[in-house]
Structure 1
């Protein structure tokens, strides 16, 4: 029996911050102690002055394995994840081969079991013609089905209306969508390419992958979900206009249509293209100051449901080039929790809301078994955050295989000091325990 007592912590959980202790027994949280005598344990950690939070659950990452391992691997990026307080992730199907068969899906799970430091789930990918294979997916064992209603790295665009209708009609589990309208993007791209040629500034990216392109696709997804009563989760909202498609009238567990916002859309804005250029070229694009402020407010109003990263690394050499050569995406998972705490430090959000949106809400929305909360009987996925340990992000201190961060040069006031995955201390003040592996997520469906 392996027991660990974390004492004198400021526990942020379920809307409150309370001083207390947590006893870990093997995989699980055995006791949450807010008063009274503390139990004995094999290991005791004094967390005085530190925040104890549930491990963050990132519902959208691209770890690039198999087939794109010059950019990243499940091992390298899950190391970065646990160093940043992310204990569970859901990874996307646009790898090589694409995860569009049960065989390819289970092959990826085998890699996760062998190499992932964090808990893992992998989306099944939809195409214009693989519905019979998609319907073999077990909703108790797989987080959802991903539909690209806009193209991105490893083109998996589903653009056939009959196929889209059939997917929304037949899929019984959560459908996660990337929403950008391709005809609108192609039209905008032609206009700006004719005007600027190969020297087009990156600042026009949000005008090419425009708010209108996002809204047209998102509204179509919502229309299909309404028509077929589907469970729809729209990923990486980036515009004020799209917010009107969603509601906060129902509690999260009763919502059929939900939305995610990513850290970079809450932090960056259009003016940042002038000094960051390719490093903040994402799909969907970082847009205007007004869009960013609207997203922040919608998150606070519970119209937007979860915060994730869309962690999508490319090498620096791939990011060096003109607008048309440079792929979209960037690495984020190591700094998502500290960046959200930084926004709380600045008064934009509360720390309790950060935990709600990064830990509790993903667990509730995806119906993950026994994770996302500090509760007795739940898996001990826990993180200590030091509020008095500033860190300056640089390309030299990231764990990403790609070796860079869009936050390089930024000083963050909070640092993750300890991360437990299933009760095992996988990250401890800069050191990673290479013997620890996460578990496959399971779902209460």
Structure 2
């Protein structure tokens, strides 16, 4: 396949040739071969496929919410060519046996993938680290709201072992001892109570603790879904890395009236001032990565009071389109979008053949018309859950997504769509 006259993220116009699974040439003027598919990429942006370092594809255990097939179709349609699945499935990925069970389901994926191993009182580090593990995470530091929460001593032991294995530690940083218990007295239809309960101060405190333990062990700490400027600044100043979700960039406590319990997630939505602060830090480079924390639930499950509804929102299909819309509006450069969705992720998690449009890299490529903005509609997305917290907002969606040279997703000029085969691979294999 040959992309002719494509615009790269840095503004250069280049022809890009794909042979087999790799990028074979990037040049100003390439001549098509006789049997080569030629894509006229004039006025189109050609990006490296996005790497979503934080998804919950729910399988095994919660297939009614999402599966590897539906989640990866959603990813491909949104320009995501690699995902990293988190361990809190059923069973949780805390042993080699559980890893192998999940990896078998991941063979249904259209996009490349990695699997994070988790830490609980039942984890089996020897069998986990004998697998092609992507990272150690999501480690819920002092989070009392799930079966992945761990105590300080176990966290320190896990971080030390991860440092020995040269594995990144992905931390969910909320200190449950600082949650505002008085907020629980608020009514079930007072949706802002969730943000009041899981107070912003709990994040900064947990980030500080995680960084201190990581420093003692010389471990590489990555703070997941940072939701406050304070947390992002702490990570950045300590030389750690951090990610922000699209919902913490584009939604705030001001949106609860419209979202209701569809706006409940962990960490929760923050104030409009803090949301704007996160955008500023994304622009100036304080934040390293945008990752979705794609955590779908059905609308029926979400249709409950704020204290009973499950936490989490879908996002893998809308991350890149939302960021490209910000680039269209002038808030971000295309280079910055490339870095926070691909290049930085590949560097942090040691994926040397991904994250950039360079000769010899995997041909994970996304072609978009950077001016083709359209309304986001949940019933047009491909996640099993069928809804989005970004309903009615604008996004710039891909026309074509390649995973290692194969078409994973394509949209024609009439709006028709087609998907490729389940050919995703474990990036650690």
Shorter-chain TM band: over 0.9
- Among 11, 14, 18, the alignment partner of 1:17 is 11
Deviation at 1:436, TM superposition (A): 3.9
- Among 48, 57, 70, the alignment partner of 1:76 is 70
- Among 190, 194, 197, the alignment partner of 1:205 is 194
Aligned residues: 421
Look up the match of 2:373: 390
Gap runs ≥5 in structure 2:
none
Contact 2:406 2:420 in 1 (8 A): no
Say if 2:6 is the partner of 1:6: no
For the residue of structure 2 that corresponds to 1:244, the secondary structure is helix
Mapping for residues 40-79 of structure 1, pairs under 5 Å: 41-79=35-73
- Among 211, 214, 217, the alignment partner of 2:206 is 217
Say if 2:312 is the partner of 1:329: yes
Say if 2:149 is the partner of 1:157: yes
Look up the match of 1:118: 111
Contact 1:240 1:294 in 2 (8 A): yes
For the residue of structure 1 that corresponds to 2:335, the secondary structure is helix
Deviations 1:358-381 (A, max 9, x none): 010000000014111111111100
Deviations 1:300-353 (A, max 9, x none): 232221111000000000111111111110111111101001112222211110
Say if 2:428 is the partner of 1:415: no
Q: Equivalents in 2 of 1:34, 1:205: separation in Å? A: 53
Say if 2:167 is the partner of 1:167: no
- Among 418, 421, 425, the alignment partner of 1:432 is 418
Contact 1:153 1:327 in 2 (8 A): no
Look up the match of 2:242: 259
Contact 2:407 2:420 in 1 (8 A): no
- Among 136, 144, 149, the alignment partner of 2:135 is 144
Q: Equivalents in 2 of 1:135, 1:324: separation in Å? A: 38
Mapping for residues 318-357 of structure 1, pairs under 5 Å: 318-357=301-340
Q: Equivalents in 2 of 1:247, 1:396: separation in Å? A: 38
Gap runs ≥5 in structure 1:
250-254
For the residue of structure 2 that corresponds to 1:245, the secondary structure is helix
Q: Equivalents in 1 of 2:104, 2:371: separation in Å? A: 39
Contact 1:95 1:154 in 2 (8 A): no
Deviations 1:133-189 (A, max 9, x none): 22443488221011111548752111x22212211222231110111111222xx1x
Look up the match of 1:105: 99
Say if 2:298 is the partner of 1:315: yes
Say if 2:428 is the partner of 1:442: yes
Scaled by the length of structure 1, the TM-score of the pair is 0.90
Q: Equivalents in 2 of 1:203, 1:346: separation in Å? A: 30
Deviation at 1:109, TM superposition (A): 1.1
Deviations 1:281-311 (A, max 9, x none): 1100110122112212222232221111000
For the residue of structure 2 that corresponds to 1:141, the secondary structure is coil
Q: Equivalents in 1 of 2:143, 2:182: separation in Å? A: 19
Say if 2:231 is the partner of 1:242: yes
Look up the match of 1:252: none
Q: Equivalents in 1 of 2:31, 2:69: separation in Å? A: 40
Deviations 1:118-138 (A, max 9, x none): 0000101111342xx224434
